[in-house]
Chain A
């Protein structure tokens, strides 16, 4: 699936800015980002720490509010949405994977994966079934009852992936998903993401600072000092 074949824009940014703090202590993390991402793309966002790549990711995922500029998500003007409306947008269209997994502690893998379905109002029976399927698809069919503390980092991240895609989101946001993993589990996780992108056509935005992780994507955007430094398409080399 190459981006050229599908030119439906999912994300369109124009002059997006983010300033932290006020007055003299203010820090400009993003200075005006223009960016278009199309359906089905697998995009890696790279850059040195402090470059603003995580800020960009959080804004795209509606986890944070932009200071200025325009953010269009499939025709919705995100910057005009309330906190609640953004929650609903995340609920219905987005999935998230974090570096620190962010699973609920003392909660079984199955219940963690069920959670987004619960907020969507899916019935108990369907929740169980969909969550079990999602865990099966990430290779954790035998770990349904395990809590995060009973699983390795790679397994936890796969639970997080199952939780992110169980609702069939159109976009998946992954913030340094392999940052805490060794090279073997990194490969497993990245292959899983590639598979989701290929087989289910999920648009993936991935923040990383590792070149070999970014190599799984079709497109690499480099951010530097709050601006896009480079943006190039390439053939995924590792998949």
Chain B
């Protein structure tokens, strides 16, 4: 009897190609949509998380102006001086390194390739403070800093855009109007989340001041990066820095700070809460896709009921028992749902794998969502494939035959 049920079920599946296809399609779309969305969301989450950790977790950034973001007015607010940097390095307890940062946008040219990119002038501490790894060549050193040598270190995006497959080490690129020798290449930090961190050129601060900008004022450091020693308290340290800088900038007790100290840990926490929102959003999208997919499955199953009820009537009238008919329909529904679900999973895997590669996200396989999507869609397929059959098989054959 079970063998017969399988034989009949598979025969019906093969015979009714349109119905089979539509039913399976509902399940395929349901499963693949949900799995793709959630998997891509997960990959984006992972990418953001990776970016945060690549920032260097115990890093303080000091900027002029009060508040967060690019809209904060810094007009009339003094920048920092080289002496500020030195004194922070000497007087603040618990810091591992401190580096001045000045960034300016330049057109950079190598042969026929050009790119507008942020050029950062800084000291040799900068690389360690910001977790930059050297991929090739060397970083600039104290001697380069002292002399203001025309050397630069390229981020991975700049290297790719200007040089393609050629070897950049030792080549001369033009930053603005100044030729600069490429001495080192930075390892990629990856992109997404915070924008492309690899789109950068780093030069000695003195080089930026003397050669590129062509002016050397003392108040020209736009940002100070401070890395903390392992185990030191970022809040206490930033309070110390704040006190020191207020003093150096002659702020009266009733005056507000005209600079800000950012703790990247705080930025990480902020991003973390955005991730939580993103996760919730993704779950909602997944739930909606599951419901939409489920309704699609129901529709197709219910549309087939009339024809199938007659079929049940025919089978009953020629001597099939209700159990035999039910078993056949159950096998059909389970087979269709499972095969559809598996195809959906495979499609989702292919799509997310491809998209992750295209968008430079890392592919993260999430077994949980695969199981949930498969289970849910298959359950709907089975329930709605089987329930009408159950109703029909309980009828007197004449009522099933009469069904219009």
Measured CB to CB, the residues of A under 8 A from B are: 58, 61, 63-65, 83-84, 87-88, 90-92, 94-96, 98, 102-107, 111, 115-116, 118-121, 163-164, 167
Chain B residues, Cβ within 8 Å of A121: 4
Indicate if the CB atoms of B15 and A118 lie closer than 8 Å: no
**Closest chain B residue, CB of each to CB of A90:** B319
Which residue of the partner chain B has the closest CB to A84? B321
B314 touches A104 (CB 8 A): yes
Report B-chain residues with C-beta under 8 Å of the C-beta of A115: 315, 318
Residue in A63, A83, A107 whose beta carbon sits within 8 Å of that of B317 in the complex: A63
Q: Are A83 and B4 in contact (CB under 8 A)?
A: no
Is B16 positioned at the interface, with any CB of A under 8 Å from its CB? yes
B155 within 8 A of A: no
Most buried by B among A92, A106, A121: A106
Q: Is the CB of B319 within 8 A of A88?
A: yes
Query: Which 8 pairs across A and B sit closest by C-beta, in order of nearness?
Result: A91-B319, A63-B398, A87-B321, A63-B397, A64-B398, A116-B318, A90-B319, A58-B398
Query: Shortest Cβ distance from A105 into chain B, in angstroms?
Result: 7
Contacts A107-B15, A118-B8 given; indicate if A65 touches B396 (C-beta within 8 A): yes
A106 in contact with B319 given A83-B396, A118-B8, A119-B324 (CB within 8 Å)? no
B401 engages A102 (CB within 8 Å):
yes
17 contacts between A and B (CB under 8 A): A58-B398, A63-B397, A63-B401, A64-B396, A64-B397, A83-B394, A87-B319, A87-B320, A90-B317, A94-B319, A102-B310, A102-B314, A103-B314, A104-B311, A118-B4, A119-B315, A163-B318
Most A CB within 10 A of own CB, among B4, B315, B320: B320
**Bound CA span A105–B306, Å:** 13
Does A91 lie within 8 Å of B318, measured CB to CB?
yes
Q: By the criterion CB–CB under 8 Å, are A84 and B322 in contact?
A: yes
Of the residues B318, B396, B398, contact of A119 by C-beta under 8 Å: B318
Binary CB contact string for chain B from 188 to 232 against chain A (1 if under 8 A, 0 otherwise): 000000000000000000000000000000000000000000000
Q: Is B307 an interface residue (CB 8 A)?
A: yes
Residues from chain A with Cβ under 8 Å of B15 in the complex: 106-107
B372 in the interface, Cβ–Cβ < 8 Å? Answer: no
List, in ascending order, chain B residues with CB within 8 A of A90's CB. 316-319
Q: How far is the CB of B51 from chain A (nearest CB, A)?
A: 57
Chain A residues, CB < 8 A from B322: 83-84, 87
User: Which residues of B does A touch, CB under 8 Å?
Assistant: 4, 7-8, 11, 15-16, 307, 310-311, 313-324, 394, 396-399, 401
Closest CB in chain A relative to B1 CB, distance in Å? 8
| Residues from chain B with Cβ under 8 Å of A103 in the complex | 314
Cα A164 to Cα B307 in complex, Å, equals 21
For A107, the chain B residues whose CB sits under 8 A away are 11, 15
Closest residue of chain A to B321 (Cβ to Cβ) is: A87
CB distance from A2 to the nearest CB of B (A): 30
Question: Given the known A-B contacts A63-B398, A65-B396, A106-B15, are A119 and B4 also in contact in the complex, defined by CB atoms under 8 Å?
Answer: yes
List the A residue with the shortest CB-CB distance to B16. Answer: A106
In the complex, chain A residues whose CB is within 8 Å of the CB of B397: 63-64
CB nearest neighbor in B for A118: B4
Task: Evaluate contact between A63 and B396: CB separation under 8 angstroms.
Answer: yes
The answer on a CB contact under 8 Å between A92 and B317 is no
Task: Report Cα–Cα, A58/B313, bound state, in Å.
Answer: 13
Distance A137 CA – B108 CA, assembled complex (angstroms): 91
A116 in contact with B319 (CB, 8 Å): yes
Contacts A83-B394, A83-B396 known; A120 to B319 CB distance under 8 Å?
A: yes
Which residues of chain A are near B318, meaning CB under 8 Å? 90-91, 95-96, 115-116, 119, 163-164
**Minimal beta-carbon separation of B44 from chain A (angstroms):** 47
In the assembled complex, the CB of B6 is this many whole angstroms from the nearest CB of chain A, namely 12
Which residues of chain B come closer than 8 Å to A118, judged between CB atoms? 4, 7-8
Determine which residue in B315, B318, B320, B399 has the highest number of CB atoms from chain A within 10 A of its CB, and name it: B318
Q: Is the CB of A96 within 8 A of B317?
A: yes
Is B401 a contact partner of A92 (Cβ separation < 8 A)?
A: no
Name the residue on B nearest A124 (C-beta): B7
Q: Taking A64-B396, A87-B321, A102-B313 as given, write out 18 further A-B residue pairs in contact, using a Cβ cutoff of 8 Å, ordered by the A residue number.
A: A63-B396, A63-B397, A64-B398, A65-B396, A84-B321, A87-B322, A88-B319, A90-B317, A91-B319, A91-B320, A91-B321, A102-B317, A104-B314, A118-B4, A118-B7, A118-B8, A120-B319, A121-B4
Complex: A41 Cα to B264 Cα, angstroms: 98
User: How far does the alpha carbon of A164 sit from the alpha carbon of B317 in the complex, in Å?
Assistant: 10
Query: Which residues of the other chain, A, contact B398 by a CB distance below 8 angstroms?
Result: 58, 63-64
Chain A residues with CB under 8 Å of B314's CB are: 102-104
A113 to B193, CA, bound (A): 66
Across the interface, name the chain B residue whose C-beta is closest to A54.
B398
- The residues of A that contact B7 with a CB separation of less than 8 Å are 118
Whether A98 contacts B315 by the Cβ 8 Å rule is no
B4 and chain A: residue at smallest CB distance: A118
A88 & B8 in contact (Cβ 8 Å cutoff)? no
B contact residues around A94 at 8 Å (CB):
319
Complex contacts, A83 vs chain B, CB 8 Å: 322, 394, 396
CA distance A115 to B312 in the complex (A): 13
B310: which A residues are within 8 A, CB to CB?
102
A193–B34 Cα distance when bound, in Å, is 59
Return A117 CB to nearest CB of chain B, in Å. 10
CB closest chain-A residue, reference B397: A63
Bound complex: CA of A64 vs CA of B397, how far in Å? 7
Smallest CB separation, A84 vs chain B (Å): 5
Residue of A with least CB distance to B317 = A96
